[in-house]
Amino acid sequence: MKSTFHALNAELSLLAPEYERILPYDLEGFPTLAGLLERLTDPARRREMGHRGLICTVLAVHRDEPHRVWTAILLRTFRPKLKKVFKKLVGCDRETRVTLLLTAFQEAISTVDPYRDPLRIAMYIRQATRRAVFAALARENDWEEVGFGVEADEEPDESGPALALAVEWVHDTPEPRRELLGTLGEHGALRALVRQRHPALPQRDQLRVYAQLRRDRTQIADELRDRFRPPRRKPARLKEVSS
């Protein structure tokens, strides 16, 4: 997370002119990005209603007109809380955990209603982020452990023919899909694929591509699993015994 937030500080510096260009009426009291960040990150003001109202304002602006400026500002504002959540994440490699957390946070700031309860807005953002990242992490860990296999205690040992067909299916799959499928179970492979395909995209855009590719990969893997999973054997029916 240190390297991520170090890069964020650099990005915020670059975004300062853009902030002044798109400054909305609701934030005219903060004509510079530095001034807004100073207010949002001041520990002495975190419990003030004005501080929470300012967070709600930035969230509302982001919801109405999403922009990387608002994402970066909110990410910097919630940095202490995100660090605490990150410490509780277990499984996968560190880079994947960071990506899942940032993706979950982006989802939270796009879906949480800033007007629902301003007094507890920080709690709602934290809860939404935690739910999303733990769910995503569970799916990621499940794929790494299970892959395309089947539960040995539940399925008959008939994987040989299915595996041969699966290999043939993968071989005939278009290269982009096959390349995506090949990232399953390999730490950091999907993130590396995003960087390879889109090296010029900003980090936030790469995160969006990463999230979409994860969904595409799951769909492809599910298709493969459903197509070649050995059929379940029906339990034998007991013959009725006439009295």
| Residues 76/41, Cβ–Cβ less than 8 Å | yes
Question: Could you report the per-residue pLDDT of 46-79, keeping only the tens digit for each?
Answer: 777 888 999 999 999 999 999 999 999 999 999 9
pLDDT at residue 172, rounded to an integer: 54
Helices (H) and strands (E) in the chain, counts: 11, 0
CB burial class (10 A; 0-12, 13-18, 19+) of residue 203?
Answer: middle
Which of 115-119, 173-177, 227-231 is predicted with the least confidence, judged by mean pLDDT? 227-231
Return the structure tokens found at 112. Answer: 């949480």
The domain locations on the chain are 2-144, 147-228
pLDDT at residue 227, rounded to an integer: 54
Q: Can you tell me which residue has the tokens 């996968």?
A: 92
CA 37 to chain centre: 25
CA 233 to chain centre: 38
Neighbours of 151 (CB within 10 A): 7
- pTM for this predicted structure: 0.61
**Band (217; pLDDT cuts 50, 70, 90):** confident
CA 198 to chain centre: 18
Closest CA to 215 of 205, 223, 226: 223
Which region holds residue 183: left if phi is over 0, alpha if psi is between -120 and 50, else beta? alpha
Over 50: is that where the pLDDT of 148 sits?
no
Question: Could you report the per-residue pLDDT of 106-133, keeping only the tens digit for each?
Answer: 999 999 999 888 889 999 999 999 998 9
Q: Find the distance separating the first CA and the last CA of the chain, reported in whole Å.
A: 73
| 218 compared with 144, residue with greater pLDDT | 218
Largest CA distance in the chain: 92
pLDDT at residue 169, rounded to an integer: 47
Over 50: is that where the pLDDT of 176 sits?
yes
| Residues 98/145, Cβ–Cβ less than 8 Å | no
Q: What DSSP assignment string belongs to 197-238?
A: H-TTS-HHHHHHHHHHHHHHHHHHHHHHHHHHSPPPPPPPPP
